[in-house]
Chain A
Amino acid sequence: MIALERRPQPSQAWSAAAPLLAVLLTMIFGGILFAALGKDPLVAIRTIFWDPLFGEFASFSRPQLLVKAGPLILIAVGLAMGFRAGIWNIGAEGQYILGAICGAAAGLAFYPMEARWLIFPIMVIAGGLGGLLWAMIPGLLKVRFGTNEILVSLMLVYVAEQLLAAMALGTLKNPEGMGFPGSRNLKQWVSSANPELIAGTGMHWGVVAAFIAVIGGYVLLSRHLLGFRIRLAGQSPRAAAFSGVNPNRLILVCLGISGCLAGLAGMFEVSGPAGQITIDFNSGYGFTAIIVAFLGRLHPVGILFAGLLMALTYVGGEVAQLTLQLPGAAIQLFQGMLLFFLLAVDVLTNFRFRFGRREVKA
């Protein structure tokens, strides 16, 4: 007989090993999937995980990893703060959109003034503030009326999407765009552009912000009183209450941090890689970041690696689609497997297998 038995303490070793095992299992089962589709599994896995890093065009795809991972890491670090404290902000996608809208709008208000030193910082502040305020809606509703932040923040994503469409079609529409939807291209205007800082590296201000967030998040969680309170509230709300943690303030702070970072990610994306507000500007970073946060064990440094790994599956997945003609859905399935196996293996952090007959206690 095999039974699952709760561990007295969550296993540190399993907690660290789980992501690696999950990646390994994903490769094995993904390989089986690709073989079933008639592709050589080893070639497919190599194309996804190896070629973007060391293949023929690696000098091109390595910077792309940073471009793709930057927003994921930035959002996930913020989300992890809340998740650690048991505050579930599922609506980072909406906060990301609002950050982009507010950042772009603040910049475009000055068009065509040439004053990068003034306009770009204003856009950064507006972007962060936009995401923060959007996250305050579920926060204040929870604090004031006890609503569920999971539902409210998720529903606000759909509101944000409608708002985005309205902006692309109306308020922020490019007056010189011949009636087509979409804002002016922020990347082509010197005051608002978020360009590659060093050519050929993929480094833009959003990636810089992501690195700062990782360091800041690490310091906050391990060295700062707020970090202690966040961890305590997550592990034992009762103990947190006794030690003087104000749960309402903690909710607002956690949602505020995650909303602000998501908003910043949106702002850096719209002024850099994306370039303009369009109807479908958001491409799921806010949701993917949830996977990244858990894959990184809700730890800022772990998130850094998880974000890069996730970016690798995107970039590598595209290469596989292109060179092996793997269907797009197979790549998405492959990414989904990663989270699935992580959650499955995670059981072993809190439980262990018992082999043999259960002892019967008298």
Chain B
Amino acid sequence: MTLKTILAGAALAAGLAGAAAAQDDPVTVGFVYVGPVGDGGWTYEHNQGRLAVEEHFGDAVETVFVESVPEGPDAVRVMQQMALNGADLIFTTSFGYMDQTIEVAEQFPDVKFEHATGYKRADNVSTYSARFYEGRAIQGHIAGSITESNIIGYIASFPIPEVIRGINSAYIHAKKVNPDVEFRIVWAYTWFDPAKEAEAATALIEQGADVILQHTDSTAPQAAAAEAGGVYTFGQASDMAEFAPMPRVSSIIDNWAPYYIDRVQAVIDGTWESQDVWHGIGEGMVGIGEITDAVPAEVKAEAEALRDSIAAGEYHPFTGPLNRADGSAWLAEGEVADDGTLLGMDFYVEGITAEIPQ
């Protein structure tokens, strides 16, 4: 027996012992949340994903979470604490945790990290995000069809690609069914602030908007619309079904559970690898909440057909011909946007008259 085979044998034995230990020990999965689990939107849905993991794996998996973690040095500390306390896999669920996730991942090469909505990866850092713009296409279609004032209000959060993509997707599909449609965009500069969101909704309604789309997470705009009467809204991040059938006529639901279960399983199986996923309606990461009867039956049928064709991969919401707002050509007839452009989107499509704030 040569030294090489002895070493190989020892390595194999150690590997088996490690695997055996991993079998006995429950896999610990950590979640870092940017908001409180009761926010009813973004963090709430991530926590639903965590609960689904617990339910699916039972005793084989243990989950821990820390909520309302500010995006900055506090996030570094929380992730380090989780890693030290034995987490095998950590989901960091906000864009603002990007550099912090990379930093901690370097310190703990044996711990796997999953960062939501970012673009920086490493051997032990994956990124995942959802193609919410697919849901926006359906919203735009419904909004363009049901508006009577032809003014659609949009409560935007921050002028980042994610939000701009949503505005563009909604606008393209509203315009398709209603050439006279006009978008009024209000920037709230927050993801979650019920008072500000209600104020923005009221301002938009006063300007004549009879459909309100929102990229903020609270139900305040729904309440404002209900009070005004005759104004349609869509649930954001969460179904917000308590406002159905009016004003909420449908919703975009973040459904992280299948992905979370998948990745935890990969860690258990030892097959986890760094990857970059951007899933949409087809994979089930983006859910479309039930379209209520407040929407005419034929519009509902069209919207569902649109949803199904996007899910099947037959139709891409950004299909040419499309021009940029400055009039320059973007996509030729039949051309489909590439992911790189979509991920860094910093322009409106032609027809939106507003300016992106700088």
Contact = CB atoms under 8 A, between A and B. Distances in A.
Given A180-B119, A279-B158, A328 B344 contact: no
Contacts of B67: 321, 327-328
A60 interface: yes
Interface stretch (B76-84, B203-211, B239-247): B76-84
B282 interface: no
A269 B73 CA distance: 9
A180 B95 contact: yes
B165 to A, nearest CB: 10
A169 B64 contact: no
A162 B189 contact: yes
A356 interface: no
A73 to B, nearest CB: 16
Given A169-B358, A275-B99, A180 B77 contact: no
Contacts of A258: none
A336 interface: no
A278 B96 contact: yes
A274 B158 contact: no
Nearest to B80: A60
Contacts of A325: 64-65
A114 to B, nearest CB: 21
B356 to A, nearest CB: 9
Contacts of B346: 179
B304 interface: no
B72 A322 contact: no
B66 A278 contact: no
B351 interface: no
A319 interface: yes
Contacts of A68: 73, 77
Contact of A274 (B66, B73, B77, B161): B73
Contacts of A182: 96
Interface string A150-181: 00000000000010011001100000001111
B160 A180 contact: yes
Nearest to A173: B358
B158 A181 contact: yes
Nearest to A274: B72
Interface in A305-357: 314-315, 318-319, 321-323, 325, 327-329
A185 B98 CA distance: 11
Given A178-B343, A318-B77, A323 B85 contact: yes
A283 B73 CA distance: 10
Nearest to B159: A169
A273 interface: yes
A283 B74 contact: yes
Interface in B169-215: 189
A314 B66 CA distance: 12
Interface in B134-177: 158-161
Contacts of A276: 99
Nearest to B96: A278
A319 B81 contact: yes
Contact of B357 (A57, A169, A283): A169
A182 B94 CA distance: 14
Q: Which residue of B65, B77, B84, B99 has the most chain A CB atoms within 10 A of its CB atom?
A: B77
Interface string A122-160: 000000000000000000000000000000000000000
A269 B99 CA distance: 15
Nearest to A332: B68
B72 A328 contact: no
Given A169-B358, A181-B158, A323-B85, A328 B73 contact: no
Interface in B80-103: 80-82, 84-85, 95-96, 99
Interface string B338-358: 000001111000000000011
B71 interface: yes
Contact of A179 (B64, B96, B344): B344
B26 interface: no
Interface in A273-308: 273-276, 278-281, 283-284
Given A178-B119, A322-B66, A322-B85, A283 B158 contact: no
A185 B72 contact: no
A67 interface: yes
Contacts of A280: 70-72, 96
Given A178-B344, A328-B36, A321 B66 contact: yes
A64 interface: yes
B354 to A, nearest CB: 15
B160 A328 contact: no
A68 B70 CA distance: 13
A182 B118 CA distance: 13
A329 B99 CA distance: 26
Interface in A161-209: 162, 165-166, 169-170, 178-182, 185
Given A169-B358, A179-B160, A322-B82, A329 B77 contact: no
Interface string A55-85: 0010011001001100000000000000000
A60 B158 CA distance: 35
Contacts of B80: 60
B161 A180 contact: yes
Contacts of A283: 70, 72, 74
B72 A273 contact: yes
Contacts of A64: 77
B77 A328 contact: no
Contact of A322 (B78, B160, B343, B358): B78
B72 A169 contact: no
A61 B84 CA distance: 11
A32 B65 CA distance: 23
B158 A165 contact: yes
Contacts of B358: 166, 169-170
Interface of B: 30, 36, 64-68, 70-74, 76-78, 80-82, 84-85, 95-96, 99, 119, 158-161, 189, 343-346, 357-358
11 contacts: A60-B81, A67-B73, A169-B158, A180-B95, A278-B71, A279-B96, A280-B72, A280-B96, A321-B67, A322-B64, A323-B64
Interface of A: 57, 60-61, 64, 67-68, 162, 165-166, 169-170, 178-182, 185, 269, 273-276, 278-281, 283-284, 314-315, 318-319, 321-323, 325, 327-329
Given A67-B73, A322-B66, A328-B66, 12 more contacts: A60-B84, A169-B357, A179-B345, A180-B95, A180-B160, A180-B161, A276-B99, A278-B96, A280-B72, A322-B64, A329-B36, A329-B68
